[in-house]
Structure 1
Amino acid sequence: MTSSGRAADMRVTVLAGGVGGARFVRGLREALSGDDEITLVVNTGDDLWLSGVRLQPDIDSILYALAGVNDTERGWGRAGETERVSAELREWGSGWPWFTLGDLDLGTHLARTGWLRDGLTYTQIAERLAARWPIGVRLLPMTDAEVDTHVVVEDGSRLHFQEWWTRHRAALRAVEFQNEGIQDAGPAPGVVEAIEGADVVLIAPSNPVVSIGPILAVPGIREALANARRVVGVSPIIGGRVVRGMADACLSAIGVETAADAVARHYGRRADGGVLDTWMLAEEDATLAAGLRDEGWDVRVEPLWMSDLERSAALARAALA
């Protein structure tokens, strides 16, 4: 038994992306023992080619956070970064001048691109990257296919998600999110087994549309969730507001209200063909619990703010309970 009285050797699989996912997984790792097994299935819809190198923002953000080398002030990239290469690329007119890459971060992208040219898959590359630091989890991309997210905006233009998100700060009204080729993609090796073999699958408080949405859109993943033992989701909405980023703009584009109960209904209950068994609401949204329970939902109300590692671990323990 662990110090908490829970049996050891628990297998937990997390669907995650972005900063919210990184914070949640750090708390989960803190909450579990060294005998437990954590597998992360990470969104790769944010990926892109830029200046000839392949970027995987969500994979890298989670990797850096778990390794303790992330820039906690900016919320992205490596700590102690310099940006000499990005400055030189701007002088050459290469890449996007509004999308700055740190030199240490570029080292990761160059290594990844070289391994791709050598014939490695994204799954194999994630394993190599994770081996550098003792991160304590198994890191899996959602798919080995390239299914970058593009955003169709109101005037009909189609932008890469990173341009819409980083350059325009989601100010251009989105009408559709597309992941070209995702219908022909498949889960990365090990993803289905990790979901179906887990004692519990956790859906992190990541952006429901552009972080969790692409994962669920990979053929075979919803089917795996249907066969999972238990699926628990954590709301990314607290008090009717997004915690970080512009997830409200993404939700509006697909007709979902920025509210914790609306996101729950967006995911749906497994009993009704959705993906969740349990939904975790913030204390600030406790008044929404009764309505969901009337619809048959298993709802838990907990403190959801992950302002430090201790609170993140407490949230993870509540999700596991």
Structure 2
Amino acid sequence: MRITVLSGGVGGARFVSGVRGWARRDAAAQGLPDDDAHDIRVVVNTGDDWWLAGLRIAPDHDSLLYSLSGQNDQDRGWGRRDETERVASELQTWGVTPEWFTLGDLDLGVHIARTAWLRGGVPLGEVYRRLGARWQLGATLVPATEDEIDTYVHTADGQRMHFQEWWTRHRASIPAVRFENADIERARPAGEALDAVADADVILLAPSNPVVSIGPILGIPGMRDALRAASAPVVGVAPVIGGRVVRGMADACLTAIGVDTDAAAIARHYRTRHAGGVLDGWLVAEEDAASVAGLTADGIASRAVPLWMRDADTSATLAGDAIALAQNLR
């Protein structure tokens, strides 16, 4: 089975790890090697990327890379395990990097390699391939676009700042009124991303931030059209449980675009394919089971399932529930 996931953020990385876990369970049940039964491709949000100290930083890609490779720091929830920060301290002493954004030494090695390749003219998709080749990921990561579409936040007090400053430094405490992806109107979906959508048997929207993780992917001209034209069903997973975000400050992003922090409201924000949106199916938490009937009546096939990804097993079970709904919709 060819499974394509649109993903961003730590929640997306956990979900993709769950998809791989489900695929390996299924392969074992069929008596096949771990990664032979299913082809998992992940279309990665690049809107969080930014330039810092002359280096191209890609938080969403790296969260996936570290999670799938087992290199992630599970205590902090971000970055690499067994990390040191000597270089970061030196950079901050020189005033080259801000104190609110720390780059670990191992993490810096990834950023330097990425930047060196990009500066040498290597396409971003090939950079992803080279970085992923170091470990056995069990999935192929592809950028949503080769173009830079950095996210900027327009705040209620008139500021315009990069998303990373608003999110990491200010913890989304300054009310936002608008999100902007620079030059996105001139961007194009990466060829590998379009192929991943067109060739898929199942397309999943990870429980990532709808505004700044999935939103930039869908905002690339041509991406929504590709999803609407896909033969595979598109199933999303709610990033909200019982009216509360699972991780991070996605509620601040949703408020800025006038969407309630509610699983059903987010599904209606994505809209059904027949109404010009992208969804065929939607998973909500058991705590939000009351919304299933209304969503189904609106044309979004919905199910209430356990949504908490507490460990590898629960993440794989959630991925299996999303895939099962997609298979039913076929």
- 1:249 — aligned with what? 252
1:258 Cα deviation from its structure 2 partner = 0.1
The range that moved more, 288-297 or 305-314, is 288-297
- Cα distance in 2 between the residues matched to 1:311 and 1:108: 30
C-alpha distance after superposition, 1:232-252 (max 9, x if no partner): 000000111000000000000
- 1:22 — aligned with what? 13
Alpha carbons 1:123, 1:189 under 8 Å: kept: no
- 2:278 — aligned with what? 275
- Cα distance in 1 between the residues matched to 2:301 and 2:181: 32
- Cα distance in 2 between the residues matched to 1:189 and 1:151: 28
1:134 Cα deviation from its structure 2 partner = 0.3
- Where do 1:45-124 residues align within 5 Å? 45-124=47-126
- Cα distance in 1 between the residues matched to 2:54 and 2:143: 21
- Whichever residue aligns with residue 187 of structure 1, its letter is P
Q: Structure 1 residue 155 and structure 2 residue 194: aligned?
A: no
- Cα distance in 1 between the residues matched to 2:194 and 2:312: 29
State the SS of the aligned residue for 1:248: helix
1:73 Cα deviation from its structure 2 partner = 0.9
TM-score between both structures, scaled by the size of structure 1:
0.96
C-alpha distance after superposition, 1:176-218 (max 9, x if no partner): 0001111111111211111011001000000000000000001
- Where do 1:124-163 residues align within 5 Å? 124-163=126-165
- 1:312 — aligned with what? 315
Alpha carbons 2:281, 2:301 under 8 Å: kept: yes
- 1:36 — aligned with what? 38
RMSD of aligned Cα (Å): 0.7
State the SS of the aligned residue for 1:13: strand
**Aligned positions, number:** 312
C-alpha distance after superposition, 1:138-183 (max 9, x if no partner): 1101101111000000011100000000000000000000011111
Alpha carbons 2:153, 2:161 under 8 Å: kept: yes
- 2:327 — aligned with what? none
Structure 2, unpaired ranges of 5+: 28-34, 325-330
- Aligned-residue identity in percent: 60
Structure 1, unpaired ranges of 5+: 1-9
State the SS of the aligned residue for 2:191: coil
- Cα distance in 2 between the residues matched to 1:277 and 1:102: 41
2:4 to 7, 13, 25: 13
- Cα distance in 2 between the residues matched to 1:54 and 1:207: 22
